[in-house]
Structure 1
Amino acid sequence: MSIGTIYLESIQKRFLTHKNLGDKTLARLDNKQLHWQPEGEPNSIAIIIKHLHGNMISRWTDFLTTDGEKPGRHRDAEFENDAYSKEELITLWEAGWKCLLDTLAGLTEADLEKTVYIRQEPHSVIDAINRQLAHIPYHVGQIVWIGKALLQDQWESLSIPKGKSEDFNNTKYGKR
């Protein structure tokens, strides 16, 4: 298998890992919690979802052929409060991820050598993908953090719970 194919498979797995973390967090929260904002007006989960949706649709639609900052995107509106329901937010979440994942699935090794533009700035395809692999997990981490802060002692770990690493390793890999 070529390094380009390995890379394309790897990034799809990494993005899916972060989507899964977000999915599990969103499933645990109600509409009121999705719109909760900490003191000082940091973004709510609802605002983060709107931003991720706008970003993913803009960046990944016609990824190889048009600028990643589409003229129809209204980025500032992504940060305005609204009354979207949980179902509407999940629809935005899924649509953004579908656009990203479908585009990644359609890329070939030869595409990795191409140049794409984001706000008229040239990027190698690899750099544009890596840029998103830094941006999207950053915001998914915010979603998880807010979910954990809201649920507190009702929070269930999304990976290995504190103090359970040895149990996990023994179960997964057998006694060492």
Structure 2
Amino acid sequence: MDIAFELIESIAVKFRSEKKWTLKAIEELVEEDITWSPGLESNSIANLVAHIRGAVHSRIETIFFNIPDTRDRDKEFKRELEMSKEQAYKMTQESFDILLQYLEQLKSNPSLLLTQPFLHLPPLTYSQVTNETTALNLMMAMFREIHYHTGQIGYLAKMRKGRPVRP
């Protein structure tokens, strides 16, 4: 058994599950639920989806597709952020698809787990990932962050629906 391959596959299984639950939650909501927030200091599903997409862009697309980082993190958390249900669904799907593509690349070459994919980039400014971060640490940080925010999306959906979302 190749432990690196098994680790990558385990992370992929978790991301596929998060994708399924999150898309199901969004699917069951109505338009106004996407931008609804329970309070002034709380995020909406639109904010959380935009934040997940921003994290995937700045942490995965910059290395996987060699796309310059154009993320506007502050915009992700604006109270008046507008997003349709369809946009939220597509953005969520796209975010997970990019993560899963990156994991497939790692599966085809597990030795990449120990590489430092950000070494060639300008200094990174977000707290969880530095230029010395390995691909393995990156995926662990991404899983933690994505899981945290998809849990928030599920909770907001439950608040709006009055019941848990079931796949």
TM-score when normalising by structure 2: 0.84
2:127 match: none
Q: Is 1:134 aligned with 2:144?
A: yes
Distance 1:96 1:61 in 2: 10
2:56 match: 56
By how many angstroms is 1:65 displaced?
A: 8.6
2:73 match: 75
Assess if the C-alpha contact under 8 Å between 1:51 and 1:78 holds in 2.
yes
**Which of 110, 117, 123 pairs up with 2:133?**
123
Distance 1:30 1:78 in 2: 21
Tell me the matched-pair count. 155
TM-score when normalising by structure 1: 0.80
Q: Summarize the alignment of residues 73-152 of structure 1 with structure 2, pairs less than 5 Å apart.
A: 73-80=71-78, 81-107=80-106, 108-117=109-118, 119=124, 120-152=130-162
Distance 1:65 1:85 in 2: 27
Look at both structures and tell me which one has the larger radius of gyration over its CA atoms. 1
Deviations 1:27-47, CA, capped at 9 Å, x for gaps: 110110111101233000011
TM-aligned CA distance change 1:65 to 1:37, over 3 Å? closer
Kindly provide the amino acid, as one letter, of the partner of residue 89 in structure 1.
Answer: A
Larger relative contact order (CA 8 Å, sep ≥ 6):
2
Distance 2:9 2:30 in 1: 34
Q: Is 1:45 aligned with 2:52?
A: no
- Where is the strand percentage greater, Structure 1 or Structure 2? 1
Unaligned runs of 5+ in 1: 160-176
Deviations 1:74-123, CA, capped at 9 Å, x for gaps: 11111122332111222211221121111111112110121133814311
**SS of 2:117's equivalent?**
strand
By how many angstroms is 1:133 displaced?
A: 0.8
**SS of 1:63's equivalent?**
helix
Kindly provide the amino acid, as one letter, of the partner of residue 55 in structure 1.
Answer: A
**% identical equivalent positions:** 26
Kindly provide the amino acid, as one letter, of the partner of residue 9 in structure 1.
Answer: E
Distance 1:72 1:65 in 2: 13
Assess if the C-alpha contact under 8 Å between 1:8 and 1:104 holds in 2.
yes
Kindly provide the amino acid, as one letter, of the partner of residue 2 in structure 2.
Answer: S
By how many angstroms is 1:157 displaced?
A: 5.0
